[in-house]
Structure 1
Amino acid sequence: MKTARSLAAALTCVLLVLAGCGLTDDVTDSGPSGDDLRYGAAPAPEGVTLQPDVVIVGGGGRSVRSVTADGLSWRIAADAPHADDLEPGKVMFVTERGVGRVLDIAPAGDDLLVTVGPVDITEVIRDGTFERDDIAMADPVIYPAGEPFWADENPKQPSTYGRSVPIRRTDQPTQPEPRRGGDITTRALGYTVYPTCCSNGAGVHFSYDDGGVRLVGTVTLTSARPNATFHLAIGGGTVTRAELEISGGFGIKAEFEAGIKDGQNHRKSFPIAADLSFPIGALAGIPLSFTVSQTLSVTTAFGAKLGTIKGSGEFALAGSLGFGYADGTFGPHVKHDFQRKSSLLNSLTGVPVGVMGLVIEHGVRFTVGIGAFLFKAGVYFELITKYGTTLGSALGAAYAQCRGVAIGVHAAFGVGYTILEPVVKVINSFLSLLKPFRVVTIPPIRSSGGIRSTSTVYTNEEVIPKVSVCGHAPS
C-alpha cells in the first residue's frame, strides 16, 4: 500500500477515541449545520486549479469520524473517496477546516488517522480569484479547542506501548462541539482565559493564581459593528494581489491587578484555544471562513517577594485596519488617530515593597481562508498590542514613587500562516521521533509560511514624576 502503511504495525495503538463523534446541533436557525458545522463544508472546485499534490477526500464532514482538540489529527473513513491516495507529504483537503500537509497516517480500525501540519493557501490553490464584500462580524460560530497540547506546561512524552516507535496518547481529547453564543472558558499554562468576540470587539479576560503569584485582567481590541472586505488572486501558485480591510472603528483597552507573595516571576505565551468563525460560503467552489483568533503573553517582573500593582486605560486607535498587496509590494491600510480616553499611567496604584513590573501582550488576528486552530491559512491582518507598566517601590515614596507606562501597537499582515514557536517545537519533536521509520522524509515544519510584512502603528512611553530618580535628566 502507500508509504504510510509501513507504519501500520507500529501505529495500531495510535491516538483518538471514538467518543464524541456525533453532533448535537445547537445551530438550527441559519448557516451551516450538522457535519458541515462541526467539521466544515466540503470543497467542490469550480473555476480554480488546485496544486497537483492536493487530495480532495470525498464526503466532506460525513467522512470525518472525529478530530483531536488541537485540530492536528483527523480520523476519517478509510473507504471515503480518494482516502487511499493520502500519504505523508501530500495535502489533505476534506473540508474547509480539515486542510493540511499530511505528516503521518495510520490505520485505526475501519478508519484512517491522519495527522496534518500547516500548509500555505498557495500550496492548495494554484490558480484562482476570490473576493467578498460586507462580511458581517456578528453571531460567530465558536469552535472551542478544549484542552489541546499547548495548554500543558509539561507535556508527557507520548507512550510507546513498549515499542521503539513513538505513539501519541490514546486518551487525547476530541474537539468539543461548536456552538453559537455562550461563554468560552479555556486553560493554558496555569491561566484561565475567557475570550470574547465580536460585536463590541475581541478580547480576553484572564486569571492566574499559583505559586505565590496572582493576576487578573482584561485586554480588548474594541470596535463597533465591524465588517470586512477581501480580495485574493493567485496565479501559478503565487499571490498576485491581496487586500483585506476591517472597518468599524477600533480602540484598545486594558485593566489588570497583580500581586506577589513569596512567588516566582514567569513569562508565558500561548494561543487562545478557540476559533470564532464566520462562514462566508463557497467562492469558486472553495469553502472559506472569516475567523478571529487571539494570543496572550504575560511577563511578570516583580522586584521583591511582596507587592501589588493595579491599573487600567483605554485609547482610541483607528477607524479601519487592513492592507493591500500587488506587484510584490505591501501597503498597510491603518487609518489611525491615537487618542487617550482614560490614562493607564495615572491609574497605576499599588503597594510595592520593590519595583513591580508587568508586560501584557495581546494579539488579535483576522483571517479569511481555510484550516482550523493552529493551521489557519489565507489573507490575514493581526494587531499586536503590548502594555508595559512599572510602579516604583513604596519605600521611596516619601521622595518620589515612580510610575511608568510603555504602549506599542504593531501590525502583521500577509497571505499564509504563522504559528507560535512552542507549538512548532512540539510538532517537530514528534516528527523527529518518527524519522527513522520514514521512507518519505518530512521536513520540519516552519513557524510561518507565505508572504508577510509588518508595520508599527503606535509607540509611546511615559514616566512620572519628571525627576532624576525616575530616569529624567535634571532640568
Structure 2
Amino acid sequence: MPAVMLRPAQGTPPPRALPPATKQSVTIPVGDWSVTPSNSPGELGLGIQYKASPSLKVGLGLTFTTKDLRIRGTDKIVAGRRVGSGFTITGITGLNVSIAAGTANGALDNAKVKVEVPVEVNLPIPPSPATAGLPLNIKFAFKFSVATALSGKNSTLLASGKYALDGPIGIADGTISTPRFSVVSSIIDSLSGITLGPSGIVTAVSLKAMVGLGTPALSAGPYTSLTAAVGVTNGSALGAALARCRGATLDLKGAGGAGIAISSSVVPILRGFLPPGTKLDVGVETSATILHREQVLPDVPLCRA
C-alpha cells in the first residue's frame, strides 16, 4: 500500500489490504455521554450512551460492517505529466443501527449533543524502502451527533435496522464513487415503544479514512468518508384509535478529498502557539448524496401531515 500511494503508475494498481484490525473497547466520556468505539475484524463503529440523568436513558449503536477492507490510491502519469488521481476504500459492506431510549419526565429530559468524538484509530507505517523512506499513517476518525425529542412521561422508543452496501467509496479524478444500497431489515418495521406524545430521535455518524504522510499526531494526504444520518418518530399511543403513525428517514453521504489530519490530543497544544482563530482543518473535499429515503406508516393523510 505505501508504494501505491507514493509511486506514479500508468494504470490502476490493485487495492491493498489494510493491516488486521485490533479490538478496541475503551469507553470515552464526551460531556454527559459515553462513547465506546468498535474496532474489530468485521466492524467499525460506535456505541453511544447517555447516563447523566437518571430520568433519561439513551443507547445507540451505529456500526459499519466490513469484509476484506482495502484502500486504493493512484496517480496517473502520462508523458511525464500527472493527469489524474484517486483514493477509494472497498470492503464496507453495510450499516447496522440500533436505538433504545426512555424518559421519565417527557420533554423536560431531552438532550442534544453535537461534538467531534475524540476517537481515532491509527495504524502507523514506519519509514522503509517501500515508503521512499517516509513515515505513513492510516487513520480512522469518527464524528457523531444525537438529538432526542421524547414527549410524555414514561415514554420509550426502540428501533433497529440493517442495510447493505456494495462497491467502492471515495473519489477518482474529481468524481465521487458511491456504493449500491439495499435494505436487509428496515428500521421502521422494528419501531416500537410506548409514547404518550409524539417522540423521536435523530442521530448521525461519520467514518473518515485517511492515508497520509506523517505520524498519528500530524499527517497529510487523501481521505474518503461515509456519513449516515437516521431519524425515527413514533406517534402518540393516545391517537392509536385513528392511526398510530411511525416514520423514519435515512441519509447516506460519501465524500473524498485531501487535507491535514491533526490528532485531537495535539490540537490544544497547537492552539497555544498559534494566533486565535487559526483554522486547523485545512483541505479540499468533493461530496455526493448516496441515498435519501423517507417512509411513513400507515401511509394515510393523517400521518403524512
Q: Indicate the TM-score class for this superposition, using the shorter chain for normalisation.
A: 0.7 to 0.9
SS at the partner of 1:350?
A: coil
- Cα shift at 1:367: 0.4
Distance 1:303 1:130 in 2: 58
List gaps (5 residues or longer) in structure 1.
1-127, 141-179, 234-238, 435-440
Task: Name the amino acid aligned to 1:286.
Answer: L
Distance 2:27 2:213 in 1: 24
1:193–1:207 contact (8 Å) kept in structure 2? yes
- Cα shift at 1:449: 1.4
Residue 416 and residue 182 in structure 1: after superposition, are their counterparts in 2 closer, same or farther (change >3 A)?
closer
Distance 1:394 1:290 in 2: 49
What are the residue-to-residue correspondences of 1:202-351 with 2, within 5 Å? Answer: 202-211=44-53, 212-231=55-74, 241-262=84-105, 263-282=108-127, 283-325=131-173, 330-334=174-178, 336-351=179-194
1:367–1:376 contact (8 Å) kept in structure 2? no
Task: Name the amino acid aligned to 2:150.
Answer: F
How large is the RMSD of aligned CA atoms in angstroms? 3.0
2:57–2:103 contact (8 Å) kept in structure 1? yes
SS at the partner of 1:210?
A: coil
Residue 418 and residue 360 in structure 1: after superposition, are their counterparts in 2 closer, same or farther (change >3 A)?
farther
1:275–1:372 contact (8 Å) kept in structure 2? no
Residue 449 and residue 182 in structure 1: after superposition, are their counterparts in 2 closer, same or farther (change >3 A)?
closer
Cα displacement string for residues 2-54 of structure 1 (whole angstroms, at most 9, x for unaligned residues): xxxxxxxxxxxxxxxxxxxxxxxxxxxxxxxxxxxxxxxxxxxxxxxxxxxxx
State TM-score, norm by structure 2. 0.82
Greater strand content: 2
1:136 aligns with 2:17: yes
2:137–2:215 contact (8 Å) kept in structure 1? no
Task: Name the amino acid aligned to 2:30.
Answer: A
Match of 1:364 among 203, 207, 213: 207
Q: How many residues align?
A: 284
Task: Name the amino acid aligned to 2:162.
Answer: E
Distance 1:188 1:374 in 2: 21
Aligned residue in 2 for 1:187: 29
1:379 aligns with 2:212: no
Match of 2:279 among 446, 454, 463: 446
1:275–1:373 contact (8 Å) kept in structure 2? no
1:390–1:403 contact (8 Å) kept in structure 2? yes
1:213–1:260 contact (8 Å) kept in structure 2? yes
2:23–2:39 contact (8 Å) kept in structure 1? no
Identity %: 26
- Cα shift at 1:382: 0.7
Greater Rg by CA: 1
Cα displacement string for residues 368-390 of structure 1 (whole angstroms, at most 9, x for unaligned residues): 01456785532110100000110
List gaps (5 residues or longer) in structure 2.
1-5, 77-81
Aligned residue in 1 for 2:3: none
Distance 1:295 1:252 in 2: 15
State TM-score, norm by structure 1. 0.54
